[in-house]
Structure 1
Amino acid sequence: MSASLPTTHHPPSTCRTGVAWPVTPPSTTIERVTDEDFWLQDILESRDAGTFVGRTEPLQLFEQNLALRPNDPRRRFIVSLYGDAGVGKTSLVQRWRATATKKKCATAYVDEAFDVLSAIEQLAHGLADSGSACRGFDSRLRQYRTLRHSVDSDPGAPAGISSVLTRAAVRLGLRAAGEIPIAGVLVGAIDENEAASRVDQYRAYLVGKITRHDDLALLLSPVEALSTAFVADLRKIGQRRQIALFIDTFEQTGRALNGWLLDLLRGTCGKLPADIVVAVSGQHPLDPNQWAGLRNLRVDIELQVFTEAEARQLLATQRIVDPGTVDVILRLSGCLPILVALLAESAARGTADSTDHAETAVDRFLREESDPERQKAILAGAIPRRLDRDILEVAAGTTVDLDALRRLPFVSAHADGYGYRYHPVVRTPMLRSLRRVSLADWTERQRALVDHYRERLTELGLRPSERWRNARWRELELEATYHELCAGGVPELPNALERMTDAYGRTSDSAAKWAQMIAQAGHDSDTDEIRSRGEQLTALLQGSTSDELLLLDGLALDPRLSTFHRAAALTERSRLHERLKKYDAALGDLDRADALLPGRSWIVGPRGRIHADLGDYDKAFEDLAEAIRIAPDYAGAYSSRSSISRRLRKYEAALDDIDRVIELRPGDAYYLTVRGSIFRDLRRFAEAKTDLDHAHALAPTDTWVLLSRAGLWRDQRMEREALADLDKAVELDPRYAAALADRANVRMSLGQYAEALADLDRAIAADPGDRWSFTIRARVYDRSGELSRGVADFTARIRTDPDNPILLRARADLHLSARRYDDALRDLDRALELSPDDLSALTTRALVYDRSGRRSRGLADLDRVLELDPTHGPTFGIRAGMRASAGQYDGAIADAERSLELDPLSALAFDRRGSIRLDHGDLDGALDDLDRAIQLDPTLGSALVSRAQIMELKGQYTQALADLDRAVDVARRKAAALSHRARVHERLGNLDAARADHDRSVAILRNQGWALIYRGQYFLRLTGDHSAALHDFARAIDRLPRTATAWIGRGETYQAMGKTAAALADFEHAAELNPKNGWGLYRQALIRLGEGRDDDAAALLRSALSTLDYEADLPRPDPRRLVHRPTFLTALGEQSEAINYVETQRLPADLLRQIGEELTELGEFIGADKVAPVLDVLRSGQLDADVGGLGVEGQ
């Protein structure tokens, strides 16, 4: 294999590998070195290096590469070394490391790692040993282990969460910075296929358990978080020293590290310092496809066996020059360096026999060892996988000189610094030799080692429940089982598989370690069945989730395993099926597990959870009740049942179960916070505050507690108190996206728009996948009247991330607010292409369709939402409102009632039904609903405003003003309350108060149109300030170009100013926008009457009257919507019907006054005599109303 590398001044030197590497010729200048620069040990080291036969050129090239500056085009940052086992790769890599150390580089080495985390830890320890500690990484690793222990040891943790977190540590690769969804998209951090309801439970538990946002990210994505910390440490080290990292035995370590290393070098977890070299050594070259993108930074070196000349040179350095001996060594070793060194060791003792050509090199080495005790010790050292003095003496059965043994050429220290090991090229034939000489002795030595490890396990003194959680216990159990397999063979395999099942999911690499151990035991004991099973397990663990499913299939279906362990494997398999959304299979697994091992809470409890995820809540409750019956103190089952009850809005039942959890786990801030949230659901705010205050006292730095208490303050419209708690949460964790987004929401309510946007900038930077942050951001732009700026903001974000449905939906919200319906639909259509079942996008599109006159399509989208989630009460409420607008009163009421069935304590649902009843004229039913809504939420502004409308209709203005005053004080959206209160003041003649409320409403809504329309009507009808009215209506038209009321208002103003042509143009345009607006048609008719076009006027008047037919046909019509009816009838010459209407309706004084004013104006067009009969009735004493001051005297 070869690669061409650039050179600058000198031609490349080519070694036997065929690799061209930039070369700098050695200096010919001899310099005097100082005592501080050079020592005797340096001379010894350099002369030892001179005996490193056959590898001089790659050694020199590596050293010269280190001397090149990072920006030198000849510099290489990745060195790939590959070759057959025993060819000397590890020795060369160790020489490279020694060279780098001599050059003052910070170095680290790893040669055994089953997962990324253990590899980073080994590298960090190596760097620390070379004088450059990775303090940031070490701190985060300690924190990660503390967090995992707190979750793993918590009996109240949701079932299966430890396993999920372990899989996250194993299976999640590095992703772009910021892609880890913490607050809003936890699903992706755990598993994208996990059932949403299950993820919600995990989210609630983890957010409550883990107090800091960064810690939550660390727990969910340890590879990402710890890699980022490690790279940050590398950058600090790189400011002071060059760095050289060495990853050996890549044929094994690469299974776990290949993808991670690629991402590391590509900068996925942060930029690496430029002055770094990464050397990778293994039996095979790096994958050319995967590593193609880094070819300009890489050099590949194939290390081959010695040439005969190199082998002779090595033997000569050992003073082995006898031709016969040399020939035997060359022939037996095949010039494989490790075997040349091995045979040189024996030949140096003068025992080589040049006549024997048949035995292997290792056999020759052992046979030529003249000291039988030493030979026994060498063979004994091959038996264990890890050597220390105690283990060696147990294996040998006597005292052994470990120091002498470790100086042999095939013995090396473990990379983790604990113990020694034999090179596999040498160890394997030694084990074969032991078995060949005496199987009985082989078995006896293996059994002795089993006993040794079992004694060590006993000395730990751990209870059964503690054992698999203890790292030392797991390590000793692994080695004990290895020796049991080697001693007992296939009969011991079921025992090993059971222990692998016990180890499953304990740590990120535990299953892989056990699979590899089983394979090695089969290889070392020459037992095909054990070896093949281990190799199969290893391969499956390196594959996909489906491969892992096959692995668990094998364990669950193996009849040799105990029923306990088969049931455990089935339970684990059910979790995988659940993640794959194969719920029937998951239930089948748990049913089989329950049949194998009935009466186990850890089987029926998870089964209840799956039933709940499938929506079969009866069976879910049945299983959880059974789990509690089996284990009355099973806090997790009570917690799960409480969570399901809360999901079903059965808050009292949820409260009962969480009470029991708190009895079992007193003083637990998490569960107190959960109970506080349930009290919030029940609107029992005082009890919620007690729990949340207690939780805060127990855990003053728990940001989730603060977030929950802030929510309680917001429930009561206590924005300042909410802001104080959110300030504390952000102070504790400046990157807590949920707290930042919630604080932005509060600041928006307080009108602090700039501060809200600043918080959202920080929230999005911390968690770019959090939908809530983008939703609030769109609302801030909407509420602040800066819709164009908001659209520009989201457009810029979409330009860099065009397939992000969250951004598209947020921009659609802004388009909707701006009445740009086609633009909104384009964004929502695209969002739904990317995410077809996005309930929020479907709901928003339904609203766009409704407001743009395509209500049937909107209803179809809402039908789809309810098909996807039949229990989503708010959607029923939205559809109820839409059906009411379409005149589908029965369907609207049915939806409103279904919404209340699903959430009987929803103030919004009562408000919705009350509004529908009010629009339908059912004032008593509406009042009952609105009273209940206000009882549930005394700060619900929309309900207060609607109840005030009923009070107006009943002529009870004092009560109406009281409700509107309350709404103005407490409502989050005050503008609607202000506008309604202004109109009540208008009817009562309080013009100054009305003007003040109109001005406040316009100031709050800034550039939004309806507040301008209402103030324009005030100027037009009450003050006669036509200039001010015209200005407001023009601004309203600019904001609401498709709203007929704005055009009619401006037309009336033009009409009052005598600008008839302009008025007529506005009225006609309004009729195009909304042909059912009767008042606009009436204003057109007046102009036609003034022009003498009576027929045209009559046609317009009949159309105007027909627009009132729907309202008039209702069982209880709203008289305010019919206030124009007497005027329209009179204009058509139907005075008797007009009089009948006035006489039969109990109208409040302000409506009578309005009718009188309309008739007075009409008299100017059709003659006072034609309106006089109706006005006479209005003035007469026949009506039970105060009609004084109607302004009709003298007509």
Structure 2
Amino acid sequence: MMGWEVGTVGDRVPSLQELIRRRQAGGFVGRVEQLAQFKANLALPDELRRFVFSVHGSAGVGKTFLVRQFVRMARDREVLTGYVDESAYDVFTAVEAVVADLAGQGGRCREFPGLLEEYRQRRHELESDPAVPEEVSSALTRTVARVGLRVAGDIPVVGAVAKEIDGDTVARQLDRARAFLGRKFRSQEDVRLILTPVEVLTSAFVRDLSAIAASRPIALFFDTYERTGSFLDAWLLDLLAGRYGALPGNLIFVVAGQRPLDANRWGEYLPVRTDFPLEIFTDAEARQLLATHGVTDPQVVEVILELSGRLPVWVATLVSTRPDSADDVGDPSGSAVERFLKWETDPLRRAAARHGALPRQVDRDVLAVVDPDADHFDWLTRLPFVVEHATSYRYHDVVRTAMLRVLRRDSPTEWQRLHRALAEHYGAAKDALGLTRRDNVESKAWQLLALEERYHDLCGRTTAALPAALCALVDAIGWNSSLVPSWLQTIKQAGRDAGSMEITARAEELGDGKDLVDLLTQLLAGPGLDLEHRMIALAERGSEYREGDRCEDSVRDLSAAVAIHAANAFELKHSWVFGYRGETYQKMKRFDEAIADFNKAVELNPKYQWAFAMRGETYRIMKRFDDAIADFNKAVELNPKYGWAYGSRGQAYQATGRNDEAIADFTRAIECTPNYAWAFAMRGETYRLMKRYNEALTDFDKAIEHDPMFAWPVVGRGVTHRSLERHEEAIAEFTRAIELFPEYSWAFVERGETYHKTTRTAEAIADFTKAIELTPDYYRAFVRRGRTYGWLGRHEEALADFNKAIELAPESSWAITSRGWTLRQMGQYVRALADFNGAIELNPDYAWAISGRGQVHRLMNQHHEALTDLNRAIELNPSDGFASYESGLALQGLDRPDEAKRRIRSAIEHDRETLRNNPRATYQAFNIAVYLIALGETMEGRTQLEQNLRQGVSTHAVRVAIGDFRELEEFSGQDLSEFIELLTSYL
């Protein structure tokens, strides 16, 4: 492949004047070797070209000047260039800078800009939505959003968040966040954009680059990498590794910073990388530069060499005014800054240049604050040490640092006055935006103004301003923790620029803010916070502890925050403190204390919709469903579009059997947010419980359509298929759910149950065991495994599992009844009776337990008691054919043969109806054979048996039928050995 030798623009021969201007454009000589290497690289074919250049050296050695030479050189060869410097504060602003540069040269990115605007709009909608549940807001602001902008830890979905919180919390928070996002936005693409913005947006950027590079090569320049590398380094490495898609082959990267690229992280790119370590100018290079600019007077040359130390930025600055004398050479009182401006005779301009160094960024309005007597802005921006950025101008760090030192030394009073004036300017500009407190944290403009206000306040008042800055930092932690690094950097820089050892020491104590618990601990340990912000800091640390499952620590901090609140009567303003502690108590299952805190929160703020909804959720967990519904009613009254509250009220309705009202609420939640995957899944589950299976499957399908990664509706669909005896389809769904979420214990249990029903007992036990390994307190998995052991005749293992389940859930009537049925099979009727009694005491209308107790009474020849129980079981579940059959035997035992026959005939009709609706109902098919033979209709009974066996039934169904024949033989005295032998031969 040919190199990038594409000639001059339009293939036109340049004029001599153009060539001269190009030579002069860099403003300095030297670095000849680096320029030659870079130029030669542009002409190489792809197989030989270097794709990564690393320029590094200490501040002021000319890295930026050299990079700008590279940019000019690339553009001369019609290479499109994109340039990024320290004005970028995250990956997105860096890419925006590149996109703008490319567009200015005719290389328009078509996909990324629109997608970025959509992302910011979606984030704004999310952050400004008062209906966002606190737990979802916490998950997004503290994990997803934070990690999305800090690429070093950004790995897809779960991996990104797992670095912030533990795995169980990740699963819970992501399910909640995904569910909320699913109902909030229109498409799964929007959900993915919010959860993994860097991945989605960078992939779009790579596609744009590939489209542009099809016609022209591209060079991307990342300057001041010591500032931007913290968020760009991992991103660039992922970009090069192809994580976001294939990069075009005619693309090169130039990275310039104070430190060389990390040898371990960038080592694999050595074959395609060139390093340019820069040092100060040699004496010869410095003198050559001076001569090029016409500075030849020996005295002037010596002054410049002495003052600059041959640091390129200083040399370029001192030479820019072309001095022709050096009157004060050797004067020990002359400062470096004065030497910079030595040949500027206008005192107003000299003052403007000095004062312009005070703000961290300069625009016309800011300069007017420190230089009110004349408009020197245009002149200032042409100075060589003033660099243009996206929205303002900035001094080179080396020059600004020196000027600040001189200003502070020469006139402390003026230093303080001007910084206070700047603080007032930024404060007024901030107030002029007219934003509410919540809007403040969502406004980038407000935040930038607030940072500058605090910086200048610290510089002007030093330690007296530190408390206000620390309180502002606490506010940032509470409202938008992604701002924390900027606040810490501002405090640290103010301490350094103001020469305040106290501020610098405090900033060092605070650290880098990566661990919010550590940062809050340092803030609380030192001075500076007023009582209100001390309370906020305690509450925020308590919230962080809760997210990290350190609930005892969370309660301690939140209780301290509540105590401050109570002692200072903050009233409505901070009612959320009680809500935070209530949420922790709820997580700890200390429900009464949670309720008390939510009570206090709504007492302080009767319009606190989140607190009403959270109290309702706590009542729902406590199974105080009427109270829960009342609170959800209040929440949706306050916010008729509060979809989460509708969904939670629907759960409460479902739990109380009010399924029609549950369906209505889930439908309302979906109307609030049409793509609310969780609400579709819950409505589908309710339809399933109502045996409206087709509607259930439709809703589960809809939930999965809105969120293909949502494993729960996949399991729901599997359970529905199992209810329809579609066992292979069910197993496929459960397996898919496990592939989506390999630690989904519920999916293992449901697949195990399906294996159980299809007599794949080894696989069933394996799945139940896996679920128990994943969730050791999953009592339902123990019950299910115990039932499988019981069916296999492994009764002792079954009892051990039931015992463990009952230990974990002492009030589970299902677990107790399951143990009772196993004891019944073992012939331990007294113990079985005790279990059935215990289950019925817990749940007086539990038909399965009542039927079991009735059967045990019948086996113990207690026919009156048996008939009473069995009649009640039939009343509760009229379609239970076997209960009707057992009641017929009880009537026979009471010498009421005609009634017995009618009851057994009824059992036959019930089970035949079941078979008509579901031909795969093999247990009912065998039951019918038992019923017929009990009535003495042996020929028809045998025909039924043989027909069943020809259909290839499960071995378990055959074993159950053998047990039923043996019980009938014992009860009736008939010889049923031929039927038992027929069934046994099948096995």
TM-score calculated relative to the size of structure 2: 0.84
Corresponding residue to 1:637 among 611, 631, 646? 611
CA contact (8 A) 1:333 1:340 kept: yes
CA contact (8 A) 2:52 2:274 kept: yes
Deviates more, 1:625-634 or 1:457-466: 457-466
- Residue 338 of structure 1 and its aligned partner are, at CA, apart by 0.2
CA distance in 2 between counterparts of 1:1161 and 1:571 reads: 71
Which residues in structure 2 correspond to 1:1005-1020 (within 5 Å)?
A: none
CA contact (8 A) 1:214 1:735 kept: no
- Residue 523 of structure 1 and its aligned partner are, at CA, apart by 0.9
Which residue is equivalent to 2:167? 192
CA contact (8 A) 2:139 2:174 kept: no
The residue type equivalent to 1:245 in the other structure is L
Which residue is equivalent to 1:609? 583
CA distance in 2 between counterparts of 1:839 and 1:56 reads: 75
SS where residue 393 of structure 1 aligns? helix
- Residue 419 of structure 1 and its aligned partner are, at CA, apart by 0.6
Listed one character per residue, the Cα deviations across residues 1099-1138 of structure 1 (whole Å, up to 9, x for unaligned) are xxxxxxxxxxxxxxxxxxxx9653333xxxxxxxxxxxxx
- Residue 310 of structure 1 and its aligned partner are, at CA, apart by 1.4
Which residue is equivalent to 1:1022? 943
Matched, 1:438 2:385: no
CA distance in 2 between counterparts of 1:425 and 1:1160 reads: 100
Which residue is equivalent to 2:22? 46
Matched, 1:944 2:918: no
CA gap 1:769/1:151 in 2 versus in 1, 3 angstroms: farther
The residue type equivalent to 2:84 in the other structure is Y
Listed one character per residue, the Cα deviations across residues 1060-1082 of structure 1 (whole Å, up to 9, x for unaligned) are xxxxxxxxxxxxxxxxx8x8xxx
The residue type equivalent to 1:105 in the other structure is L
The residue type equivalent to 1:87 in the other structure is V
Deviates more, 1:625-634 or 1:491-500: 625-634
Corresponding residue to 2:544 among 567, 576, 582? 576
CA distance in 1 between counterparts of 2:841 and 2:152 reads: 44
Which residue is equivalent to 1:551? 519
Which residue is equivalent to 2:896? none
Which residues in structure 2 correspond to 1:691-702 (within 5 Å)?
A: 691-702=665-676
- Residue 384 of structure 1 and its aligned partner are, at CA, apart by 0.7
- Residue 141 of structure 1 and its aligned partner are, at CA, apart by 3.5
CA contact (8 A) 2:186 2:674 kept: no
Matched, 1:530 2:503: yes
Corresponding residue to 2:55 among 62, 78, 81? 81
CA distance in 2 between counterparts of 1:981 and 1:342 reads: 102
- Residue 437 of structure 1 and its aligned partner are, at CA, apart by 1.7
CA distance in 1 between counterparts of 2:809 and 2:73 reads: 65
CA gap 1:983/1:484 in 2 versus in 1, 3 angstroms: same
- Residue 728 of structure 1 and its aligned partner are, at CA, apart by 4.8
Listed one character per residue, the Cα deviations across residues 863-891 of structure 1 (whole Å, up to 9, x for unaligned) are 55666677777666655655655566677
CA contact (8 A) 1:332 1:357 kept: no
RMSD: 4.5
Corresponding residue to 1:911 among 848, 869, 872? 848
Deviates more, 1:979-988 or 1:567-576: 979-988
Deviates more, 1:889-898 or 1:313-322: 889-898
CA contact (8 A) 1:710 1:721 kept: yes
Which residue is equivalent to 1:473? 446
- Residue 436 of structure 1 and its aligned partner are, at CA, apart by 1.5
Corresponding residue to 1:660 among 628, 634, 639? 634
Which residue is equivalent to 2:533? 565
CA distance in 2 between counterparts of 1:879 and 1:343 reads: 92
Matched, 1:707 2:668: no
Which residue is equivalent to 1:541? 513
SS where residue 597 of structure 1 aligns? helix
CA distance in 2 between counterparts of 1:120 and 1:774 reads: 42
CA contact (8 A) 2:816 2:839 kept: yes
CA distance in 2 between counterparts of 1:981 and 1:1160 reads: 14
CA contact (8 A) 1:558 1:566 kept: no
SS where residue 1124 of structure 1 aligns? helix
- Residue 435 of structure 1 and its aligned partner are, at CA, apart by 1.2
The residue type equivalent to 1:418 in the other structure is T
The residue type equivalent to 1:959 in the other structure is S
CA distance in 1 between counterparts of 2:332 and 2:68 reads: 33
CA gap 1:1044/1:625 in 2 versus in 1, 3 angstroms: closer
Matched, 1:820 2:762: yes
Which residue is equivalent to 2:651? 677
The residue type equivalent to 1:1123 in the other structure is L
CA distance in 2 between counterparts of 1:581 and 1:604 reads: 19
Corresponding residue to 2:623 among 641, 646, 649? 649
- Residue 313 of structure 1 and its aligned partner are, at CA, apart by 1.8
CA contact (8 A) 1:318 1:348 kept: no
Which residue is equivalent to 1:141? 116
- Residue 449 of structure 1 and its aligned partner are, at CA, apart by 1.2
- Residue 258 of structure 1 and its aligned partner are, at CA, apart by 3.1
Matched, 1:493 2:430: no
Which residue is equivalent to 1:247? 222
SS where residue 96 of structure 1 aligns? helix
CA distance in 2 between counterparts of 1:176 and 1:386 reads: 30
CA distance in 2 between counterparts of 1:739 and 1:139 reads: 33
Which residues in structure 2 correspond to 1:276-355 (within 5 Å)?
A: 276-348=251-323, 350=325, 353-355=328-330
CA contact (8 A) 2:186 2:675 kept: yes
Corresponding residue to 1:1123 among 964, 968, 971? 968
Which residues in structure 2 correspond to 1:846-857 (within 5 Å)?
A: 855-857=795-797
CA gap 1:193/1:668 in 2 versus in 1, 3 angstroms: closer
Matched, 1:65 2:41: yes
Listed one character per residue, the Cα deviations across residues 430-456 of structure 1 (whole Å, up to 9, x for unaligned) are 011111221111111112212211221
CA distance in 1 between counterparts of 2:111 and 2:9 reads: 38
Corresponding residue to 2:65 among 71, 84, 91? 91
CA distance in 1 between counterparts of 2:977 and 2:337 reads: 116
Long gaps (5+) in structure 2 = 859-864, 890-899, 982-987
SS where residue 265 of structure 2 aligns? coil
Listed one character per residue, the Cα deviations across residues 997-1037 of structure 1 (whole Å, up to 9, x for unaligned) are xxxxxxxxxxxxxxxxxxxxx7xx33897xx89877xx67x
CA gap 1:236/1:587 in 2 versus in 1, 3 angstroms: farther
CA contact (8 A) 2:746 2:771 kept: no
CA contact (8 A) 1:187 1:199 kept: no
CA gap 1:913/1:153 in 2 versus in 1, 3 angstroms: farther
CA contact (8 A) 2:748 2:771 kept: no
SS where residue 761 of structure 2 aligns? coil
- Residue 247 of structure 1 and its aligned partner are, at CA, apart by 2.6
Corresponding residue to 1:180 among 157, 176, 194? 157
CA contact (8 A) 1:242 1:276 kept: yes
Which residue is equivalent to 1:590? 558
Percent of aligned positions that are identical: 34
CA contact (8 A) 2:219 2:252 kept: yes
CA distance in 2 between counterparts of 1:396 and 1:521 reads: 21
CA distance in 1 between counterparts of 2:803 and 2:290 reads: 85
Which residue is equivalent to 1:1000? none
SS where residue 683 of structure 1 aligns? coil
Which residue is equivalent to 1:797? none
CA contact (8 A) 2:509 2:522 kept: no
Greater Cα radius of gyration, structure 1 or 2 = 1
CA gap 1:931/1:873 in 2 versus in 1, 3 angstroms: same
The residue type equivalent to 2:943 in the other structure is L
Aligned length: 955
Corresponding residue to 1:959 among 906, 916, 941? 906
CA distance in 2 between counterparts of 1:211 and 1:879 reads: 48
CA contact (8 A) 2:152 2:231 kept: no
Listed one character per residue, the Cα deviations across residues 15-66 of structure 1 (whole Å, up to 9, x for unaligned) are xxxxxxxxx9999xx9898566868996466323565422233233334434
- Residue 632 of structure 1 and its aligned partner are, at CA, apart by 1.6
CA gap 1:703/1:577 in 2 versus in 1, 3 angstroms: closer
SS where residue 633 of structure 1 aligns? coil
The residue type equivalent to 2:495 in the other structure is G
CA gap 1:474/1:299 in 2 versus in 1, 3 angstroms: same
SS where residue 220 of structure 2 aligns? strand
CA distance in 2 between counterparts of 1:186 and 1:979 reads: 53
Which residue is equivalent to 1:618? 592
SS where residue 1122 of structure 1 aligns? helix
- Residue 484 of structure 1 and its aligned partner are, at CA, apart by 0.7
